[in-house]
Amino acid sequence: GESVGLHLPTLSVQEGDNSIINCAYSNSASDYFIWYKQESGKGPQFIIDIRSNMDKRQGQRVTVLLNKTVKHLSLQIAATQPGDSAVYFCAVETSYDKVIFGPGTSLSVIP
Amino acid sequence: SAVISQKPSRDICQRGTSLTIQCQVDSQVTMMFWYRQQPGQSLTLIATANQGSEATYESGFVIDKFPISRPNLTFSTLTVSNMSPEDSSIYLCSVVWLLGLAGEGGTDTQYFGPGTRLTVL
């Protein structure tokens, strides 16, 4: 089956710096990847997604990179702001209706 | 944008009792799911709520403990039965919007409700 992991459970960055959050997955057949942001007391919020036919996708201040060769994806947040403080989950879709979540990285932004 | 609501938002319950959590959406969805998030942990899928038929449970979750209903396209309930302190968690519903029209992702992207924080004493 699929397993999803992250390299760092916590990350602290200075306000204005760029943040990089990493994620690894195990199943090379996985074809859809999603990043969620969860603020304290709230449900996970969709940030950005990417399909396996792409290796990079950009949103507003966020970029997701997918390296299928090593089964790794990352979320880059540009000019990190205090409002970016949250737990970030990568999620991997293994079939149409099954999504496996990674353990999460807690991002703290230092003012 | 489309709204996913859950009731109650939080509750404190006594051991041995049951709690029913409601999930209501304001746009059509194709899929509805229930997740559990234990304190400080990631999300674990409990089951897929199927309209008009029995839910599909993941390994480790059973219908007697977590009965689920989905009477129509926009509403589902999860009951946590015969609760123990180990059931203290956040329970989240998620949906896949019909044709992906109500979100920024794809046609199979899941979107989450605000969660129900359950504490069992």
Q: What is the pLDDT of residue A44?
A: 97
Q: Which residue has the higher pLDDT, A29 or A50?
A: A50
Q: Would you give the DSSP letter of residue B100?
A: G
- Give A-chain residues touching B108 at CB under 8 angstroms: 32, 93, 96-97
* Best CA proximity match to B50, nearest among B24, B26, B69, B74: B69
**Least confident among A36-45, A78-87, A90-99, B71-80:** A90-99
* Best CA proximity match to B78, nearest among B121, B12, B18: B18
Q: What is the pLDDT of residue B11?
A: 98
Mutate to test the interface with B, among A2, A10, A33, A49 (most CBs of B within 10 A): A49
Q: What is the percent of chain A where pLDDT is above 90?
A: 81
Minimal C-alpha gap between A10 and chain B (Å)? 12
Sequence-distant (6+) residues with CB within 8 A of B104 are: A46
Element (H, E) at B110: strand B110-112
State the Rg of chain A over Cα. 13
Tokens 């968690």, located at residue? B89
- What the block records as the tokens of B86 is 């180990």
Q: What is the CATH number of domain B4-8+18-116?
A: 2.60.40.10
pLDDT at B97 over 90: no
> Which burial class, exposed, middle or buried, applies to B79 when counting CB atoms under 10 A from its CB (0-12, 13-18, 19+)?
middle
pLDDT at A8 over 90: no
pLDDT at A40 over 90: yes
pLDDT band at B43 (very low <50, low <70, confident <90, very high): very high
Whether A51 sits inside 8 A of B109 (CB atoms) is: no
* C-beta of residue B35 within 8 angstroms of C-beta of residue B58: no
Whether B115 sits inside 8 A of A97 (CB atoms) is: no
Numbers of helices and strands, H then E, in chain A: 0, 11
pLDDT at B100 over 80: no
Q: Output the furthest CA–CA distance in chain A (Å, rounded).
A: 41
- Per-residue pLDDT tens over the stretch A44-71: 999 999 999 999 999 999 999 999 999 9
Which of these CATH numbers, 2.60.40.10, 3.40.50.1460, 1.10.1060.10, 2.120.10.30, describes A4-110?
2.60.40.10
pLDDT band at B104 (very low <50, low <70, confident <90, very high): confident
Q: Which of A36, A97, A101 sits opposite B48 (nearest CB)?
A: A97
